[in-house]
Amino acid sequence: MNPVAMTPVATNPPVATPFFFYLLAATMIIGGILVITRKNAIHSAMALITALLAQAGLYLMLYAPFVAGVQIILYAGGIMVLFLFVIMLINLERNMKERQFNKQWLVGGIAALALGGLFISVYLKTTNAKALFPDGRLSYVEGQNTQAIAALLFDRGAGQYMFAFEIASLLLLVAIIGAVVMAKKRI
Amino acid sequence: MHEFLQQYVFSYLDKDLTPGGAGSVFWATVYILLVFGGLSVAVIAMNWLERKILAHMQVRLGPMRVGPHGLLQPIADAIKLLLKEDIIPAEADKIIFWIAPFIVVLAAFTVFVVVPFGPTHAITDMNIGILFMLGVSSLSVLGIVTAGWASNSHYPLIGALRSSAQMVSYEVAMGLAVVSVIMMTSLETGTGTLSMIGIVQAQQTQGVWFVFKFFPLGLIGFAMFAIAMVAETNRAPFDLPEAESELTAGFHTEYSGFRWSLFFLAEYSAMIAVSSIAVTLWLGGWLRPFPSVRGPVITIPHIWTPADPSAGALDFVFALCPGIAFLLLGAMCFYNVRRMPKHPLFKIQTMGLAGFGAVLALIGLILFIPPVRDRVEDIFWFSAKVAAFMYLYIWYRGTFPRYRFDQLMKVGWKVLLPMGLALLILTAIVGMRTDLWAQLTGAVQP
């Protein structure tokens, strides 16, 4: 099966309308701002979950339901639960009273400006600015997304990312074993 | 305008698609309302059945006072819960305390978007169906954890910590069992599928429920899932987050009234949701028992004139089952009407029970009408299988003592996880065996 053979088809009017994009993008940005401004770590975590779910919605709009599903399972359902788990073990009352001592706003501001500048320069440099934002919408059959990803990973001919995928998972395994070894004196 | 609306509404009926697949907003809304209503009725029925069955298992009578045999008890309970004072602890985190039950309910109900009650009877069919169900149901733990934390009290916090550890652990085993089924779907067609409808159709084309596929591999996967799903829904014997002997009521100790009833609703609909995953993946979803045994081809004018030319006598017999089941329920009601006390005080209750029996019998008769019968048969089989799981849940609760937390973790990580990994590898090897055999003997690859 050829992963590139995703053919655009004319189906029902796509749900990926600008309205939903702006809605999800706004949710993400507001969530992101709340993450860094809330003093209560649990509130930050909840805001982060909102942002991650909105991101899953954006993936759906890009006709990548598989990526969206994995995003929900891994980030919102898995990692964030562990985050909350750890935060609950911390004594929050003391943290709430302390002033936030993070003094990295200068570095952060410079980095944000640089990134913003990069985006704007790319937009300006492109001779045909429209090329970044295509006029027509290609609507792929959602049905092909999962199979296409599987083909990219595992297909005999076209599968190019198998090695990288396995190496990444091996790296994670090493990290897990390392954490266990460091945490436990006697195994 | 009128004709356009009419055409819009009725054009869907000719298509063999789910409302989501056909892009019909009207029918999608109808289906959503139907599923929501059916689910609420199921939760009410489960409430009564659980108390009744549990009572009979423990040689008690259970609810007997409100209505005949306590049939109206759940309604009385619901009214009580709605009228109760809704207390928010002074030290609680108000916003999160308020949101938490809604997260749980939202997660529990959203998964039903993809549950296939029949080939066309699902709100929509997603390409990532099973992934969506697992993902969204894993969000409910967020609600439980935040509920426990926001209460700002010790028992709920411990309950929340327990539940987060438990649900994250058992999701792993659950996922591994599910993956083995997804590999099985790819067997004869070459491409597997994650879609809930696709998984049942794969069982149809392969002519076997996946619980019997590669015996005993399918059965082991099914058993693993059946254990993990009890832990995932926080039910006995894995109900540590709400172990009443240690934690009062666990994560929802501080909740009362309406908000508590939301947790209750979410727990039962989550049970139905995971049961329907198990039914879809292993027990053939909407397929009737022995779907590939069809018997001799018969036609009875006006009663059995199937569109499918290969439909046989057994198809006809099984198609009558929904109606017969409801008639039996009605007959049971009438039997109990005769056994009701003859005292004049029980007159209204007796009449009510007779009326209820009449309604059930009427539904049974309606289910015999050929067009209705053909449309709801799949829903009936799906619901019947899910109901069997619901009974199992009650049975577990009446039978098993609660696990200790370290035992729970041991089962999850040291038994189910290695078993799941072994199952995955074995399923892959057995599924590939024709391919491997061809390679070893030098035959031409398919």
Give the gap in angstroms from C-alpha B441 to the nearest C-alpha of chain A: 20
Q: Is the pLDDT of residue B435 over 70?
A: no
Report how many domains make up chain A: 2
So what's the pLDDT on residue A168? 92
Distance of CA A182 to the CA centre of its chain: 29
Q: Are residues A78 and A156 in the same domain?
A: no
B131 interface with A at CB cutoff 8 Å: yes
Q: Is the model more confident about B177 or about B247?
A: B177
Give the gap in angstroms from C-alpha A46 to the nearest C-alpha of chain B: 9
Least confident among A77-91, B12-26, B126-140: B12-26
B103 interface with A at CB cutoff 8 Å: no
- Model confidence band, residue A101 (pLDDT cutoffs 50, 70, 90): low
Q: Are residues A14 and A92 in the same domain?
A: yes
Q: Are residues A153 and A88 in the same domain?
A: no
Q: Do B164 and A85 touch (CB under 8 A)?
A: yes
Q: Which letter does DSSP use for residue B444 in this model?
A: P
Task: Quote the CA–CA distance of B181 and B319 in Å, as a whole number.
Answer: 28
So what's the pLDDT on residue B10? 76
What domain range is A16 assigned to? 9-97
- Model confidence band, residue A7 (pLDDT cutoffs 50, 70, 90): very low
B136 interface with A at CB cutoff 8 Å: yes
So what's the pLDDT on residue A9? 45
Q: Is the pLDDT of residue B22 over 80?
A: no
The most confident of B192-201, B229-238, B323-332, by mean pLDDT? B323-332
Strand partners, B300: B304
Q: Do B138 and A73 touch (CB under 8 A)?
A: yes
B126 interface with A at CB cutoff 8 Å: yes
Decide if A118 is inside a domain.
no
Q: Which of A75, A146, A147, A154 to mutate to test the interface with B (most CBs of B within 10 A)?
A: A146
- Torsion-angle region of B418 (φ positive above 0: left; ψ -120 to 50: alpha; else: beta): alpha
So what's the pLDDT on residue A171? 95
Give the gap in angstroms from C-alpha B179 to the nearest C-alpha of chain A: 14
Domain extents for chain B?
18-287+369-432
Decide if A62 is inside a domain.
yes
Least confident among B163-167, B381-385, B437-441: B437-441
- Torsion-angle region of B257 (φ positive above 0: left; ψ -120 to 50: alpha; else: beta): left
Of B131, B132, B161, the CB nearest to A88: B161
Q: Are residues A92 and A37 in the same domain?
A: yes
Decide if A74 is inside a domain.
yes
For chain A, give the mean pLDDT. 78
Q: Do A42 and B128 touch (CB under 8 A)?
A: no
Are B435 and B187 in contact by the 8 Å Cβ rule? The answer is no
Q: What is the ipTM of this complex?
A: 0.79
Q: Which letter does DSSP use for residue B63 in this model?
A: -
Of B126, B138, B145, the CB nearest to A78: B138
Decide if A133 is inside a domain.
no
B97-101: long-range contacts at Cβ-Cβ below 8 A with a sequence spacing of 24 or more? Answer: B97/B147, B97/B150, B97/B151, B97/B254, B99/A46, B99/B146, B100/B143, B100/B144, B100/B146, B100/B147, B100/B150, B101/B143, B101/B147, B101/B255, B101/B259, B101/B260, B101/B262, B101/B263, B101/B266
- Give residue-wise pLDDT tens across range B93-111: 888 888 889 989 998 899 9
Q: What is the pTM of this model?
A: 0.85
So what's the pLDDT on residue A115? 94
Percent of chain B with pLDDT over 70: 96
